[in-house]
Amino acid sequence: MGADSPTSSVPAIAADHPGVAELFAVLAYGEISAFYRLAEDARMAPTLQGRVALASMAAAEMGHFETLHRALTDRGIEVYAAMDPFVRALDAYHASTDPSTWLESLVKAYVGDGIAADFYLEIAHSLDPTVGGIVREVLAEVGHSEFVVQEVRAAVAASKSEKDRLMLWGRRLLGEAITQAQFVLARREDLTDLVMTATGSLNGVAALFDNMQAKHAERMAVLGLV
């Protein structure tokens, strides 16, 4: 691991760092917006099995929201006021990556969740264990991804043009996610301070985005998009 690696002996971030509440709040609104995105995308499902798979993923997101709601309330934070600054950026991400086909929605559910999880998990290393534990808990796989992998792999194995389209789609998801993450970081001082402390330096932030790109490529490969 290089000196710039986000995981290299960075000092732990205390549980009362003011960015922690912002971190929980952005995660919390992320769960709600993921819930509604999955529920809406499920309309495109060609089968009842597909609808159920997305509904189950959506339901798991709400379980994670409850965890974050509790964590914020335990800190005396009003949950809805805390989430408010993040509504615009997350809504913008979803609006700019609105799937137009069932396969696009599956790739988004799998790849989009993965990008977000990478970002937060890289930071989690440096958090006080009680805080890091909550972050890891709410980023745990929501399950049913096996269904997504099988559907997408089968479709792209059968159609070169579908594969090309979905590879572009995956690149767009990553690009929009990073754009919105930077937008949030530029506006929330406490959260930015937390991320900078977690990654150690500006170079560390760059390394974090590089790592996210590498993991994104791995996930795309799992879907047969390589």
Q: Which of 14, 16, 49, 218 binds a copy of itself (CB under 8 A)?
A: 49
Query: Where does this chain touch a copy of itself (CB under 8 A) — which range of 58-66, 110-118, 146-154, 195-203?
Result: 58-66
Task: Check residue 42 for interaction with a copy of itself (CB under 8 A).
Answer: yes
Q: Which of 1, 9, 11, 48 binds a copy of itself (CB under 8 A)?
A: 48
Q: Measured from the CB atom, is 17 or 64 closer to a copy of itself? A: 64
Torsion of CA 69, 189, 15, 88, to 10 degrees: 20
CB of 191: closest distance to a copy of itself in angstroms?
Answer: 20
Query: Where does this chain touch a copy of itself (CB under 8 A) — which range of 59-67, 133-141, 157-165, 209-217?
Result: 59-67
Q: Measured from the CB atom, is 37 or 216 closer to a copy of itself? A: 37
Return the H-helix or E-strand segment holding 132. helix 129-138
d(C-alpha 165, C-alpha 106), whole Å: 13
Where does residue 39 rank: exposed (0-12), middle (13-18), buried (19+ CB within 10 A)?
middle
Task: Check residue 83 for interaction with a copy of itself (CB under 8 A).
Answer: yes
Q: Which of residues 15-34 bind a copy of itself (CB under 8 A)?
A: 32
The upper half-sphere exposure of residue 223, i.e. CA atoms within 13 Å in the direction of its Cβ, equals 31
Return the H-helix or E-strand segment holding 123. helix 113-124
Query: Where does this chain touch a copy of itself (CB under 8 A) — which range of 54-62, 90-98, 112-120, 127-135?
Result: 54-62
Give the number of residues in contact with a copy of itself, rule: CB under 8 A. Answer: 24
For the four alpha carbons of 166, 169, 173 and 175, in that order, the dihedral sign comes to: positive
Task: Check residue 52 for interaction with a copy of itself (CB under 8 A).
Answer: yes
Task: Check residue 73 for interaction with a copy of itself (CB under 8 A).
Answer: no
Specify whether the CB–CB gap between 176 and 184 falls below 8 A.
no
CB neighbour list of residue 82: distance below 8 Å, 6 or more residues apart? 21, 22, 24, 25, 28, 72
User: Percentages helix, strand, coil for the chain, rounded to the nearest 5?
Assistant: 80, 0, 20
CB of 48: closest distance to a copy of itself in angstroms?
Answer: 6
Query: Where does this chain touch a copy of itself (CB under 8 A) — which range of 9-17, 48-56, 155-163, 177-185?
Result: 48-56
CB of 136: closest distance to a copy of itself in angstroms?
Answer: 21
